[in-house]
Amino acid sequence: MSLYTGKGDSGNTSLPDGKRVSKDDARVEAYGDVDELSSQISLLNALCSAEGSLPAIRRISYYKPLLERIIRELFAVGGVIAYPGFENMFIEEIKALEAETDSLEHSLPPLKSFILPIGNPASCQCQVCRTVCRRVERRVVTFLRENNIDPDSNGVLKYLNRLSDLLFALSRKINADAGIADTKL
């Protein structure tokens, strides 16, 4: 089987149900941005795992499993966007993101001002992931609105919102693990 088919050369693509739509359809934009976020988190994972980037114990025991779990969950998020109609998805995943964010926040000094996305390369990549995640949220809102889908119906929007919070806290933690303090505005 060839990687290219030529079917998308005219600017259209097939949805999983076989329907042909424009490549800039809100659904295609939303799950395409989820794919980009997953790739950005993969780069973050590689940066966190790189020799010399962080103390070895943090690279091995913490970041890799967390980030790989998120990448797998994002695959499911993309699937729910591609096949809307699923309900009550991501309940456990959202709870896990909340617990992880709480744990990270409790290990860090409290925020008393805005901070800049500066520091360790992995921390900076984490901030890129956070901003991409926020864009994914906006794209999903557009898709849901255009298709009259209740934003609370499947947990995708709530999952993405919690993920962006986790990515912010994780960015701070990566800097802290690398011995870099928050850079205040």
Query: What is the domain range of residue 158?
Result: 21-184
51 or 161, which is more confident: 161
Distance CA 83, CA 46 (A): 30
Q: What is the CATH number of the domain that holds 105?
A: 1.20.1200.10
Each residue's pLDDT tens digit, 120-178:
999 999 999 999 999 999 999 999 999 898 888 889 999 999 999 999 999 999 999 88
Residue 134 lies in a domain: yes
Residue 122 lies in a domain: yes
Residue 143 lies in a domain: yes
Q: Is the pTM of this model over 0.85?
A: yes
C-beta separation of 49 from 116 below 8 A: no
Distance CA 47, CA 174 (A): 11
Distance CA 180, CA 120 (A): 7
Structurally, the chain folds into a number of domains equal to 1
Distance CA 108, CA 172 (A): 8
Each residue's pLDDT tens digit, 70-88:
999 999 999 989 887 766 6
Residues contacting 33, CB < 8 A, separation 6+: 132, 135, 136, 139
Residue 13 lies in a domain: no
Residue 3 lies in a domain: no
Residue 101 lies in a domain: yes
Residue 61 has pLDDT above 80, yes or no: no
